[in-house]
Amino acid sequence: MTTKFAALAVFFLCFMPATKIEHTEALFTLAKKPKQESSTLVADLNRKGSVPKLSKTDQKHSIHPIKLSSHLEKKAKPEETAYQPPKKTYSRADRELLSRLVHAEAKGESYKGKVAVASVVLNRTEKNGFPDTIRGVIYQRNAFEPVANGSINQKPDKDSIVAANEALDHPGRETSALFFYNPKTASDNWIRSRKIIERIGRHVFAM
């Protein structure tokens, strides 16, 4: 039986076209391979080397690159702190001298008026055209009448001492003025020409 089958196969191979011969050879090969391998080979023959396309459902679940959030990509910039100039220190002599000027110039004025007089002295130390020390400002020629009449040498009262120290120890000044005078008693025409910015008690404060 086997001999007859082989002879018949040779007969068909001689008269079949080349494409059918290749297919027949593949079938003989399948007959000799295990069932699992045969099914894999048939699938490969029918596939024709094509790659299956992703379905719409698969495309939705495809992997996308992860984008980092902005707060991870860039580090937060540190908050900038406002510049604060170093705090000035004043000697005991500066404090006493300023207290004596406040006492002589603002006698009878309110506590606020005394702090304002001390503030004028300190404002001048920071302004061009004036000495940069308390002593230099107070003893500048023709700057303050108490220096000329000697009342600068009187012992200051308690309120004058406290007012002078408040102006020295606190950065906020009572006034930004550079001059002050009593309009009822001032005889200098130049001081009256200065621009008045406020009035405290009997004094006007000007720039």
What are 151-178's pLDDT values in tens digits?
A: 999 999 999 999 999 999 988 899 999 9
Identify whether 6 is part of a domain. no
Closest CA to 94 of 128, 142, 131, 127: 131
Q: Which two tokens stand for residue 179?
A: 């001059």
| pTM attached to this predicted model | 0.59
Number of folded domains in the chain?
1
Q: How many CB atoms lie within 10 A of CB 7?
A: 9
Better-predicted residue by pLDDT, 186 or 72: 186
**13 located within any domain:** no
The CA distance from 95 to 99, in Å, is 6
Mean pLDDT is lowest, of 175-179, 188-192, 196-200, 203-207, for: 188-192
22 lies in some domain: no
Buried b (16+ CB within 10 A) or exposed e, 68-107: eeeeeeeeeeeeeeeeeeeeeebeeebbebbbbbbbbbbe
Residue 136: inside a domain: yes
Q: Which residue has the higher pLDDT, 89 or 61?
A: 89
Q: Are strands 196-200 and 203-206 parallel, antiparallel or unpaired?
A: antiparallel
Q: Is residue 64 in some structural domain?
A: no
User: The CATH number of the domain where 148 resides is what?
Assistant: 1.10.10.2520
Q: Name the strands in the sheet holding 203-206, side by side, starting at the edge strand that comes first in the sequence.
A: 179-181, 203-206, 196-200
Per the structure, the complete domain to which residue 151 belongs is given by 92-175
* Domain presence at residue 40: no
Asked which of 50-59, 115-124, 180-189 is least confident by mean pLDDT, the reply is 50-59
In a domain, 137, yes or no: yes
Position 42 pLDDT exceeds 60:
no
